[in-house]
Structure 1
């Protein structure tokens, strides 16, 4: 059984319309909702590849700044290098957590009785 991204998104949107909004700000639109709506027609694999590519770019940028700082480049500051290193670290950690959730979901799906 294959689940299409569009059908899953449509089902999620129909279920979200059933949630009572009493006490909530109905005019609020979260950034996640905006992002999901903007990528509704995109391929999940392409989005995942793009996210991993972004993490790779952050890591290479961090390594480049660290090398330039070590070589004595005066245009690179220590704070810029540390910030780039932390951005790369946080992005990598988030990627690992997403991978762990995918593996966990896969295992739970595979253990379901048919």
Structure 2
């Protein structure tokens, strides 16, 4: 189960590196904490407190990012159909594929969350 999640996270990181470059102009809040992959590993006694972003906020940002990618792909597709010279077919196809990958990753995360919820609910008390 963690191998699939690790695979998705590495794909997301690779996408962020392609999008933002090696220096990265991404906001620090969008970085994926490597400690989440190994919850048992100690992080020098650091405990995420009130200053950290919450799960709901992180989830909302991720969903907004997917929505933005889909809106961008749709706008590029419309511009291509209208004959805009700045919207060539290759860029439109790349934008559509990026939005599709982001959506599939979101659906996979949702499925994992539902499965985790069902596992918790079926635990004997």
* d(CA) in 1 for partners of 2:55, 2:111: 17
* d(CA) in 1 for partners of 2:71, 2:123: 41
Match of 1:63 among 74, 77, 80: 74
Partner of 1:78: 89
* d(CA) in 2 for partners of 1:44, 1:103: 15
Partner of 2:41: 16
Q: Gapped runs of 5+ residues in structure 1? A: 1-8, 18-36
TM-score (norm 2): 0.62
RMSD: 1.9
* d(CA) in 1 for partners of 2:122, 2:96: 39
Partner of 1:53: 64
TM-score (norm 1): 0.67
Partner of 2:117: 106
Q: Gapped runs of 5+ residues in structure 2? A: 1-35, 43-47
> Shift of the alpha carbon at 1:103?
0.4
Matched residues, number: 82
Whose radius of gyration is greater, 1 or 2?
1
* d(CA) in 2 for partners of 1:83, 1:67: 14
* d(CA) in 1 for partners of 2:63, 2:86: 29
Higher relative contact order (CA 8 A, sep 6+): 1
Partner of 2:102: 91
